[in-house]
Structure 1
Amino acid sequence: MSEQPAKLGAVGLGRRNADSASSVRANRRWWDIDADDYHSEHGDFLGDADFVWCPERLREAEAHLLGPVADLAGRQILEVGCGAAMCSRWLAGHGARPVAFDLSAGMLRHARAGAANTGLDVPLVQADAQYLPFRNESFDLAFTSFGAVPFVADSAQVMAEVARVLRPGGRWVFSVTHPIRWIFPDDPGPGGLTATTSYFDRTPYVEFDADDVPTYVEHHRTLGDRVREINAAGFRLVDLIEPSWPADLTQEWGQWSPLRGGILPGTAIYVCQL
């Protein structure tokens, strides 16, 4: 969930309905405006050409969720909801052929800056993850690190679109906030350890302005919901990773903290295969 509810004139927040169009409008505008602050706060953690899956600092270089690093060379890889595309630049540095897309022009501006800083230029596309502008069977692998999936009303459509653009046998790996976190307040301290909401309440989290217009939206799905979406798209779920909090990591990230991370999972990473 967002860390700055006052942005865009937001005057309130809560659980309320938000359809696909309002979710896209709100989140495109949010991330366009928040891109600079986001990278000012988290840029050092994420790096210019690094692949970090989550605030628990799990790196692809260690996890190999897309496969052995040596096997990435020449693979055509799609990054969904890329932000500044640092993960794609890491892949390009290992010989892969990534394409990165995001809904937000503000985030893609940071992606272009990252390319200039590193000399690793990755093709960038502005697109909605629910309607991918790519041909069928165009990619070998697809992934996202906290991009797109929780910010759309129809995440099942995202799964179907990713399946469409992957070649047979393709792999799709995505990390999102662990669904168990939705029952707790968005608080890294002791206040975030007491459940206040039903796990089964799928009503979106929405911040809204004085005109009652959504300014930020996230959509909750249970573990069962995700598995059903994955299966319906034709994928097989081959692993579900819940990274533990590293003992040496003292840095907080929004609601993520050593306190909470030592007690309950903050991230779920789904590894899917066609």
Structure 2
Amino acid sequence: MTEPHVSATVQLGTVGVAHADISAAESVTANRRWWDADADDYQAEHGDFLGDVRFVWCPEGLDEADVRLLGPVAGKRVLEVGCGAAHCARWLTTQGAHAVGMDLSAGMLRHARKIADATGVRPPLVQATATALPFADASFDLACSAFGAVPFVADSDRLMAEVSRVLKPGGRWVFSVTHPMRWVFPDDPGEAGLVAQTSYFDRTPYVEVDEAGAATYAEHHRTLGDRLRELVAAGFALTDLIEPEWPEGHVRLWGQWSPLRGHIFPGTAIFVCDKR
């Protein structure tokens, strides 16, 4: 008999949202538990769009095969930070890169191993936190993250410093996150999502909580200026900031991403950075 489906929200006992400060350790614990619980649902909902061996940067569908933000990857050692099911690391492997996928969640890495077995593309996988990377200094040529890790850590300045540490001088770091201006609006793909409700300058995290008030999920807002200062402090130079436009004919909804909102203001920011 098939076990009844239980969502991550139900598994973790989430009852509401509390915009409140949260420690770095609490954020790590909440998000590890969330992604472990939600991994099956996430892959079922988005796996077809992400592809088993594809590097897509964002819900707008910007594909690394087309834009080549990382530059030439053949023969390069590449770290995917917050790899989830490691779609990007597998694509990089097929391009001749020596890719490594790293993620906090055992549940997401379970899907990475399953797809690796199905495709025969098997980059090494490591479970770790993005703020304490278990790699030697200057051990990678490139690092990337497609909506992984960066928004989910309270101390993203430390994450930037860690990525800088494991990159060789001149190495490139490219990551995509929800565009900071989206924090002004509610997470609604419809018309309600067009009405500003929150100050852009309010850095209070978005936290989902259980009945006891313990965090079950957390995301952290940084302004564009905040991100730039983190990067400069970590030794990076920002070489490009990409705000993908919504493609004509693209009708897929992804959470708060939709054609309605995408044609009016950006949903994604992609930072292209080189280590000085």
Please say whether Structure 1 and Structure 2 have the same fold, judged by a TM-score greater than 0.5.
Answer: yes
| Residue pairs, 1:93-132, within 5 angstroms | 93-132=94-133
Partner of 1:85: 86
CA distance in 2, matches of 1:74, 1:46: 24
Structure 2, unaligned stretches of length 5 or more? 1-6
Is 1:81–1:101's contact at 8 Å kept on the other side of the alignment?
Answer: yes
Partner of 2:191: 190
CA distance in 1, matches of 2:11, 2:178: 22
**2:171 counterpart of 1:170:** yes
Amino acid at match of 1:96: A
CA distance in 2, matches of 1:4, 1:208: 12
Q: What is the root-mean-square deviation of aligned Cα atoms in Å? A: 1.1
Partner of 2:3: none
Amino acid at match of 1:231: V
Q: What SS does the corresponding residue of 1:221 show, helix, strand or coil?
A: coil
TM-score by length of 2: 0.96
| Residue pairs, 1:1-274, within 5 angstroms | 8-67=12-71, 71-274=72-275
Q: What SS does the corresponding residue of 1:61 show, helix, strand or coil?
A: helix
TM-score by length of 1: 0.97
Is 1:5–1:207's contact at 8 Å kept on the other side of the alignment?
Answer: no
Deviations 1:69-103 (A, max 9, x none): xx321100000000000101001011110011000
| Alignment CA distance shift 1:195-1:4 (3 Å) | farther
Aligned residues with identical type, % of pairs = 66
Q: How many residues align?
A: 269
| Alignment CA distance shift 1:7-1:192 (3 Å) | farther
CA distance in 2, matches of 1:168, 1:257: 39
Post-superposition offset of 1:8: 1.3
Amino acid at match of 2:118: N
CA distance in 1, matches of 2:141, 2:109: 23
Post-superposition offset of 1:254: 0.2
Amino acid at match of 1:77: V
